[in-house]
């Protein structure tokens, strides 16, 4: 009789253990691959069990930015969110893994990032969409209707015209003595800013740090404090300037290179003044 009781008790314990609620982690997809033209991937954290699943990222490569970092899932539920690769790193092949830690075990997710750009910001010339040889009418044909436009009046009667494509991260500038841009006016300067993701031939893009720019281009030919608490770092003989805020590049300015032998002092001063004033305008 005692033996029968022991056997029945053991069976009951096994039954209770087998019926105990547990969380069960899985992910979809089980690996992630990013490229420069495909920097956003969706990741799904899944709880296939009956118990609450508490999850977090115990390891995440520095070149990835998840839009969520932890959470709690009821049984048989999931959550999907984007993970974004940072395109401001140096070019190369990056290989690592994400570690998902939970109250019911961990899972590793292999990740790969092939970061190779085309050089779309051409200093002293333009960008892949447009360049300084474009007239206003041809720019409109290429880029379409701008998001907004504005003007800045100068003391000498000339007018800077700002034509901005905010969603593209492109702004163009024209200089004339008219209240509007004329269809045959040429682009005087191009500004590239966030979210424009192109890079220069020296691998500099919006969001890179001041030190990276110095390494790529050398010490600036001129440094001007702007009206917004940052600095305009100028390379006029190369046809490129960088506006920085807290040592981060916020705007890259493209224009025709300045040739000191031609004694273009007034042209250069006008350009610097415009860039400083445009920096303040764009940041506001």
Least confident residue range of 89-103, 112-126, 216-230, 269-283: 269-283
| Selected residue with higher pLDDT from 21 and 162 | 162
Residue that wins the pLDDT comparison between 100 and 223: 100
CB burial of 226-261 (b: ≥16 within 10 Å; e: otherwise) equals bebebbbbbbbebbbbbbbbeeebbbbbbbbebeee
Q: Are 233 and 241 in contact (CB under 8 A)?
A: yes
Residue 121 pLDDT: 92
Q: What residue ranges define each of the domains in the chain, with the CATH number in brackets?
A: 21-115 (2.60.40.10), 121-283 (no CATH)
R_g over Cα of the chain: 28
Confidence grade of residue 73 (pLDDT, cut at 50, 70, 90): very high
Q: What is the 3-state secondary structure (H, E, C) of 12-35?
A: HHHHHHHHCCCCCEEEECCCEEEE
Q: How confident is the model at residue 264 (pLDDT cuts 50, 70, 90)?
A: very low
Maximal C-alpha separation, the chain: 112
- Rounded Cα distance, 65 and 278, in Å: 31
pLDDT score, position 30: 96
Q: How far apart are CA 167 and CA 51, in angstroms?
A: 44
């Amino acid at each position: 009789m005692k033996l029968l009781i022991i056997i029945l008790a053991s069976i009951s314990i096994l039954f209770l253990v087998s019926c105990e609620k547990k969380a069960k982690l899985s992910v979809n997809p089980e690996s992630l691959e990013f490229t420069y033209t495909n920097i956003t991937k969706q990741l799904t954290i899944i709880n296939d069990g009956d118990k609450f699943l508490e999850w977090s990222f115990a390891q995440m490569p520095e070149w990835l930015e998840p839009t969520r970092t932890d959470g709690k899932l009821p049984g048989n539920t999931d959550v999907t969110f984007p993970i974004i690769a940072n395109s401001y790193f140096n070019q190369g092949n990056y290989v690592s893994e994400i570690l998902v830690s939970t109250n019911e075990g961990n899972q590793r997710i292999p990740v790969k990032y092939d970061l190779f750009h085309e050089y779309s910001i051409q200093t002293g010339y333009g960008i892949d969409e447009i360049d300084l040889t474009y007239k206003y009418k041809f720019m409109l044909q290429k880029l379409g209707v701008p998001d907004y436009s504005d003007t800045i009046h100068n003391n000498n009667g000339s007018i800077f015209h700002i034509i901005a494509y905010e969603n593209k991260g492109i702004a163009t500038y024209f200089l004339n003595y008219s209240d509007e841009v004329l269809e045959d006016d040429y682009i005087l300067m191009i500004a590239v800013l966030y979210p424009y993701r192109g890079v220069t031939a020296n691998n500099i893009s919006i969001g890179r740090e001041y030190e990276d720019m110095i390494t790529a281009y050398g010490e600036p030919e001129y440094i001007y404090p702007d009206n917004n608490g940052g600095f305009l770092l100028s390379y006029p003989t190369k046809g490129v300037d960088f506006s920085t805020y807290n040592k981060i590049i916020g705007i890259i300015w493209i224009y025709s290179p300045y040739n000191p032998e031609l004694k273009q002092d007034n042209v250069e001063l006008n350009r610097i003044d415009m860039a400083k004033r445009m920096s303040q305008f764009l940041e506001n």
